[in-house]
């Protein structure tokens, strides 16, 4: 069983190296690999989505430390290689792998920002794959600016990491039913 998992992970990594490309700044092109090793391309990020992702990244690093990354590819045990918008994990975990390849595990905290993205259709599956892969928490920010904290037990009232996000209203669609950060 272990050998089978290792071969599958190695196969995903080989496919990832072959199919993905980096832009001129060394960032991934937004592609992911599903559990069958097939390339999944997502629509490009709008300027407003990039601003929100950067803002979330900055708030997380200010609140729990500068050990976060934006658009870092991670290997999930059931969902292939995925690229959360922001990830955070302790320093010793960052030091435990080759950083030119996708993270070989799921970091402690993963964030998905659902502005201008086609990831919404598979959101529950994405969250489950992060949590099944070892994430302690997944933060989801929807197109209305609503912030949800999720763990293995489901929705949470607050972050287990003590993260509290304050997001600019102007970047989100109208229709939010509750104040930002209070969910």
118 within some domain: yes
Q: What is the pLDDT of residue 3?
A: 38
Are 29 and 22 contacting, i.e. CB atoms less than 8 angstroms apart?
A: yes
Whether residue 182 lies inside any domain: the answer is no
What is the extent of the structural domain holding 61? 42-171
pLDDT in tens, 15-60: 777 776 555 444 556 688 888 888 887 777 788 999 999 999 999 9
Task: Check: CB of residue 144 under 8 Å from CB of residue 173.
Answer: yes
Of the spans 22-31, 91-100, 149-158, 169-178, which averages the highest pLDDT?
149-158
Does any domain span residue 18? no
Three-class secondary structure of residue 77 per DSSP: coil
Q: What residue has token string 């950060």?
A: 181
Is 37 domain-assigned?
A: no
Q: How far is residue 35's CA from residue 31's CA, in Å, rounded to a whole number?
A: 13
Overall domain count for the chain? 1
The closest of 42, 46, 72, 43 to 57, measured between CA atoms, is 72
- For residue 129, give the nearest of 71, 82, 68, 72 by alpha carbon: 82
Q: How far apart are alpha carbons 43 and 176 in whole angstroms? A: 24
pLDDT band of 181, cuts 50, 70, 90: very low
* pLDDT for res 16: 73
Q: How confident is the model at residue 7 (pLDDT cuts 50, 70, 90)?
A: very low
The model's pTM? 0.84
Q: Give the tokens for residue 179.
A: 């104040």
Q: What is the CATH number of the domain that holds 86?
A: 3.90.1570.10
> Has residue 4 been placed in a domain?
no
């Amino acid at each position: 069983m272990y050998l089978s998992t290792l071969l599958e992970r190695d196969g995903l990594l080989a496919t990832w190296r072959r199919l993905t490309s980096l832009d001129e700044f060394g960032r991934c092109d937004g592609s992911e690999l599903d559990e069958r090793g097939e390339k999944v391309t997502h629509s490009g990020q709008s300027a407003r989505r990039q601003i929100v992702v950067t803002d979330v990244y900055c708030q997380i690093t200010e609140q729990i430390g500068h050990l976060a990354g934006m658009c870092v590819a991670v290997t999930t045990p059931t969902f292939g290689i995925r690229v959360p918008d922001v990830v955070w994990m302790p320093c010793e975990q960052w030091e435990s792998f080759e950083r030119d390849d996708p993270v070989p595990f799921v970091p402690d905290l993963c964030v998905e920002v659902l502005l201008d993205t086609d990831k919404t259709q598979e959101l529950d599956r994405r969250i489950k794959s992060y949590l099944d892969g070892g994430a302690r928490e997944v933060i989801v920010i929807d197109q209305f600016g609503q912030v949800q904290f999720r763990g293995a037990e489901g929705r949470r009232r607050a972050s287990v990491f003590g993260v509290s996000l304050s997001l600019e209203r102007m970047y989100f669609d109208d229709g939010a039913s509750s104040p930002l950060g209070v969910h």
